[in-house]
Amino acid sequence: MDEDEDTVMGDSHNLSTLTTNPSFTEVPLPTHPSNHPTPNIAPSSIPQPGPTSLSPGSEQSQPRETIVSTGMAPPERLIKTSDGDSSTAKQLKRDSLVEPDSDWSDDEVMAKAGLPLASLATGLCYDHRMRYHCEVRPQSDVHPEDPRRIYYIYKELCRAGLVDDPESSRPLAPKTLQRIHARNATEEEVTLIHSDAHYAFVRSTTDMPNEVLIQLEKDRDSIYFNNLTFASAILSTGGAIETCLAVAQRQVRNAIAVIRPPGHHAEDDAAMGFCLFNNVCVAARVCQNRLGDACRKIMILDWDVHHGNGIQKAFYDDPNVLYISMHVYQDGRFYPGGPAGDWDQCGSGAGVGKNVNIPWPDQGMGDGDYMFAFQEVVMPIAQEFDPDLVIIAAGFDAAAGDVLGGCFVSPACYAQMTHMLMTLANGKVAVCLEGGYNFKSISKSALAVTKTLMGEPPDRLLSSSPTDSAVAAVRRVRSIQSQYWSRLYPKTSDHPVFENRLHDILRIYQSNQLYESCRLTPLHIYRTAISKSFDKQVLASTNYHERVPLIVIFHDPPEIVGQPHPMTNKLEAHNVWMADAITEYVKWIVGKGYAVIDVNVPKHVSREAAAGQYKGDDEDRPSATEELAGYLWDNYIDANQATEIFLLGVGNAFLGVSNLLMNRENLYKRVSGVVSFVSENALRAVASHTQTWLSKWYRENSLVFVSNSHGLWNDKDRKPLSKRYGQVVRSPKSNLNEMLDEHKEEVYKWISERADREESDEDS
């Protein structure tokens, strides 16, 4: 089998079946590079292929195992061995389980004999006719949702010897994949999730002229159509239904459905994001309706890199469907966009707590991040929910190599996640393909998942350490979900009274301490938009307006280190410490007779009383910091007589310094030097299109200490830094307070020398 071949395995026999059936009309397929050879098929319906070989020219070759859903569940026990066949019975009688005092009955022990589940095969649903959904007039760039996606996955499974197909590599696996035949989903099934109008719209594309279909592609949200779109869509949905039913009824041990078009973005009344009908949702609802209490509770795990807005919307208030999605969110900017995929969307009504979003802050997530989310959130919740069936909405666009996803999940990680999910629902796991747009990535990932379903242990992970951003995201999810799930700790407090956030209380303490030791007093900020936020946050020495060197310090709040109670999440005062190295700098400045303005920039801009909820860095913080810096310069710095002005920026608060230099024309001419400490925050450039000499001046008059663990140093091939980043020094320390302590003498000397030089120049 050539690497780049595009022959559809099994087309030969299936085409003969179609063309000899008098009930179907021959119509030409749309021209598309991924549809060769061209079959003849009715535009509104795709006939069911027989249980024949998947290889051209081998019509008499029968697969080892086929399965057609009957809708009847097999007996839940094995037939008890007769008394005449006593070898097994006698052996069991000698077992302690059937002693008179045992809690196990003889019948129960007999039913457990052998390996009834392990002896079942893993199912595979694949039908090449799902490839007939394609663009009417392909552009030079092939659409990401390429019809060949499913073929490359099937081809990979054949190469691994997992499919009993004449084209498969030999030798075959001892127990090959058992075929589950796709069928057309009925209108009654599809409309369990979708509106009648939506079903009618998709069906209407069967008779639309090409010009109308092309215009629909332009008007709709990331979706294309042709005259066979409806036929492929109902076949994809029917394949998902048959796969889930086969697993739920124990006709197979577990199964994978290699289907398209995908479905998890499709909403009740809208096709979007390459999706027409929501395959997983329809399959889940059919299983619930047909199997009753035997399949009442269903868990849907969606590891597609995009949030499954359609699945979430379908089951948002359903207490019997647990939906967990791990996806890139980017504050609602990543497709499908909006707030629906955020961590605080937990369900509504009876379904509250049954919707779990794990939103990654950005692309670039890897194995360690996904495994951490599984171990900390996914599995504890899943085990407590205890589902009757697990459906994986298996998009492989978070896989390494997928350009759309931009993440780095390995096949081994997908296998590890599958392996953990197989411990649920007595192993009833159905995997349904969603996204994934790199042929190699989806093929290797799907193969790893399939091998795991078949009993192969997953490969070991090369890296299992989560990133800081993943840890923060997962802990935030765990925090809000802990109120709905008993296995998640620590619990959030439900105390009804929250008055103040600690950062405001600490600043009052700092204000009192700095007054006692250095006689610093608050500067009033007469600006309605920021006055409340920065009350007592700006302190100044009594000589800030005199003709002496002035050092203006913009810094983040002091670091708080604590050990919360592992069960209640409460922080007890004796287990909390504050690290504040800035105070040493203030004392040195005052001791030298210099003036100081100390600006504490809170990470959260207070607008109302605290609500007892976790808050990240406020999105308004940068603009508030910039506004405050400008206000201070106009009213307390530029208007006074300081001989030299030094600007010191610590952490993210340096934004106030950099924006001040860039946005105020020629302000830098009054500044004698800039010192910056960069730890976890980005290294900021100081440059301006209107101030030609600003970058050169900044390079010559700055001292920028960068954390030893900063990502800047990880790029071994990086070019020398531009002068707009200043005079960069690599610190041996990583923590911000440790850096401040490590370099304080160096900073003192640097400021003193420049201040003395300026004074001597004035005297001369």
Catalytic residues: 265
How many other β-carbons are positioned within 10 Å of the β-carbon of residue 512?
Answer: 11
| Rounded-to-integer distance, Cα 462 and Cα 420, Å | 18
In 3D space, the residue among 479, 589, 575, 495 whose CA is nearest the CA of residue 542 turns out to be 589
How many other β-carbons are positioned within 10 Å of the β-carbon of residue 526?
Answer: 8
- The tokens for 204 are 């209407």
Label each residue of 674-727 as H, E or C.
Answer: EEEEECCCCCCCCCCCCCCCHHHHHHHCEEEEECCCCHHHHCCCCCCCCHHHCC
Residues 31 and 135 sit within 8 Å (Cβ to Cβ): no
C-alpha dist (Å) from residue 308 to 284, 300, 382, 390: 15, 10, 18, 16
**What would the DSSP string read from start to end of 313-326?**
HHTTT-TTEEEEEE
5 burial (CB, 10 Å; 0-12 / 13-18 / 19+) is exposed
Question: What is the pairing mode between strands 538-540 and 521-522?
Answer: antiparallel
- The tokens for 670 are 């009054």
Q: How many angstroms separate the first and last alpha carbons of the chain?
A: 87
41 burial (CB, 10 Å; 0-12 / 13-18 / 19+) is buried
Residues 316 and 348 sit within 8 Å (Cβ to Cβ): yes
| Rounded-to-integer distance, Cα 596 and Cα 587, Å | 10
In 3D space, the residue among 680, 661, 658 whose CA is nearest the CA of residue 670 turns out to be 661
Rg from Cα positions in the chain: 33
How many other β-carbons are positioned within 10 Å of the β-carbon of residue 548?
Answer: 18
